[in-house]
């Protein structure tokens, strides 16, 4: 339930920052307020971490949030690498981000499948402590998200 509420709050942040029909003076404070609400909710939902026997990043939900963030970075990296490949194939120069044929939907599309890929990742990592191999696996899960969902 924690991740559903945090996901809804963060979706509100993305919507408020990308909705061009609302003035910037309203969008930016609304996005900031939703981001602060997500942080406060995540902090209070995580329970007490003072004088805990284990590190804060090895406790729920921080461990899962770190893994999810690294997985999303992998998804964004895959979107950028695909845009670079399309740029090589394109006959004309693109007008997207940094001259690449990349727009917001190229990054949002893999996020639609993040729940499925994150479930596979958490199944692999399990309850182990957060480690570099776990973070690398998280990035790879995000980068190769298409292969997890391909039909065989």
Q: 13-41, pLDDT tens digit by residue?
A: 777 777 777 676 667 777 777 777 777 77
Q: In whole angstroms, what is the distance from residue 69 CA to residue 114 CA?
A: 10
Distance of CA 105 to the CA centre of its chain: 14
- Phi, psi dihedrals of residue 2, rounded to the nearest 5°: -60, -45
Domain ranges within the chain, ordered by starting residue:
1-45, 52-152
DSSP 150: -
Q: In whole angstroms, what is the distance from residue 99 CA to residue 2 CA?
A: 38
Q: 66-105, pLDDT tens digit by residue?
A: 888 888 888 888 888 887 777 766 544 545 555 667 677 7
pTM value is 0.51
């Amino acid at each position: 339930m924690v991740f559903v509420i945090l996901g809804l709050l963060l979706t509100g942040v993305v919507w408020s920052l990308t909705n061009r029909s609302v003035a910037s003076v309203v969008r930016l404070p609304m996005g900031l307020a939703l981001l602060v609400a997500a942080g406060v909710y995540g902090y209070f939902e995580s329970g007490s971490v003072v004088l805990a026997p284990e590190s804060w990043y090895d406790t729920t939900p921080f461990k899962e949030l770190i893994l999810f963030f690294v997985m999303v970075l992998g998804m964004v990296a895959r979107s950028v690498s695909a845009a670079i490949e399309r740029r090589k194939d394109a006959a004309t120069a693109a007008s997207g981000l940094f001259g690449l044929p990349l727009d917001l939907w190229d990054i949002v599309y893999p996020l639609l499948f993040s729940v499925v890929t994150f479930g596979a990742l958490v199944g692999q990592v399990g309850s182990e402590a957060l480690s570099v191999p776990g973070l690398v696996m998280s990035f790879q899960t995000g980068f190769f998200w298409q292969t997890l969902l391909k039909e065989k």
